Amino acid sequence: MIKSWEITCFHEVDQPESMRIFISGIAGFLGSHLAEHFLKDGHEVVGCDTLLGGELINVPTEAEFHQYDISRHDSMLKITKGCDVVYHAAATAYEGLSVFSPHLIVENIVTGSTSLFSAAIANGVRRIIFCSSMARYGTNEVPFKESYLPKPQDPYGIAKLSAENILRNLCEIHNVEYVIAVPHNIIGPRQKYDDPYRNVASIMINMMLQGRQPIIYGDGGQKRCFSFVDDDIYCLKEMVYRDNVLGEIINIGPDEDFISINTLAETLAELLNFDLKPVYVTGRPQEVQLATCSADKARQLLGYQTKTTLKEGLQAMIDYIKTNGTRKFRYHLDLEIISDKTPKTWTNKMF
């Protein structure tokens, strides 16, 4: 039986000369790149960010910026007015931390998403594109396929799946188009590299450039597939134009180079000519050992092709951090639960 997304002949919606596009998390890594690309294409861009995980310098000067929290429904109602499309890229994307700061993470992901979705729908937006997470799949067999029953293993993954379900429910009731994108392990320039709670490649580069050995959780055998930001941006942009993606969940990013964290450290050490002697610490609770997504559906629906190799992506990050200078790690988020399971890397500020 042929599934709807396997039909390669599709109709694309007419591409208007100019749209007003709203991007949540516009000062963040993914949101700022998305804004930059749409501005280059001649669209108007408006967005918001709390600057918790983003930086004002990332926001393109041509974009209309608001320092608002997406959880403030009245604010979202005001700034999504007149927008054609909403990209929801904002998230406290702290999967490992969510086991120890669940209130912070879930409030942002579930309450914040619902606030934005509600405002956007009330203002009559045409389409909402939601950036979910690979965490939705949990302990499924790899590579993760969109048809799998989700098995999230932590509050972050559970919250992302909840936000998906809320979006689907509201859009189907109120006749609004939607797409659920599933990025995974995105890397590239502008990724926050002074954050001790997330972004393993950025953390390692920041440490190695300071002459410090990287810290690896567990035995380093956890395997991931890293996704260069431009490959994800291609998919996200296509989602605004194509009709064949409506109502779909689509993994975005490459499925080549499925590597261990040990191999990641070794690759970075090679690129940096660094004498590698990693520091191994106790593994984090609920961390999924094998996590990578199939890109087959993105290839079928979006014509996706990986353009940037892992080494090219890592080198771009190295160049960016060298240019901007290494940074001291900032423990900017509170731990809500401290127990014998809380990583010592955080409680003892080891980064």
Nearest CA-CA partner of 188 in 219, 234, 156, 154: 234
Given a cut of 80, whether residue 294 has pLDDT beyond it is: yes
Given a cut of 70, whether residue 106 has pLDDT beyond it is: yes
Given a cut of 50, whether residue 90 has pLDDT beyond it is: yes
Predicted confidence band at 17 (pLDDT cuts at 50, 70, 90)? Answer: confident
- The mean per-residue pLDDT over the stretch 249-254 comes to 96
Q: What is the pLDDT of residues 21-41, one digit of tens each?
A: 999 999 999 999 999 999 999
Tokens describing residue 17: 């000369």
Domains, the chain, in order of start with CATH, read 20-188+226-252 (3.40.50.720), 200-223+256-332 (3.90.25.10)
The predicted pLDDT at position 304 comes to: 97
DSSP code for 242: B
CA–CA gap between residue 326 and residue 312 (Å, rounded): 20
CA–CA gap between residue 303 and residue 172 (Å, rounded): 26
The predicted pLDDT at position 339 comes to: 97
Nearest CA-CA partner of 202 in 256, 109, 264: 264
The predicted pLDDT at position 310 comes to: 96
Percent of the chain at pLDDT exceeding 90? 95
Residues near 1 by beta carbon (within 8 Å), at least 6 away in sequence: none
3-state secondary structure of 61: coil
CA–CA gap between residue 295 and residue 6 (Å, rounded): 13
The predicted pLDDT at position 116 comes to: 98
4-8, 103-107, 116-120, 134-138: range with lowest mean pLDDT = 4-8
Compute the mean pLDDT over every residue in the chain, rounded to the nearest whole number: 95
φ, ψ dihedrals at 259, nearest 5°:
-125, 160
The predicted pLDDT at position 16 comes to: 57
Residues near 186 by beta carbon (within 8 Å), at least 6 away in sequence: 29, 30, 226, 227, 228, 229, 232, 253
Given a cut of 70, whether residue 6 has pLDDT beyond it is: no
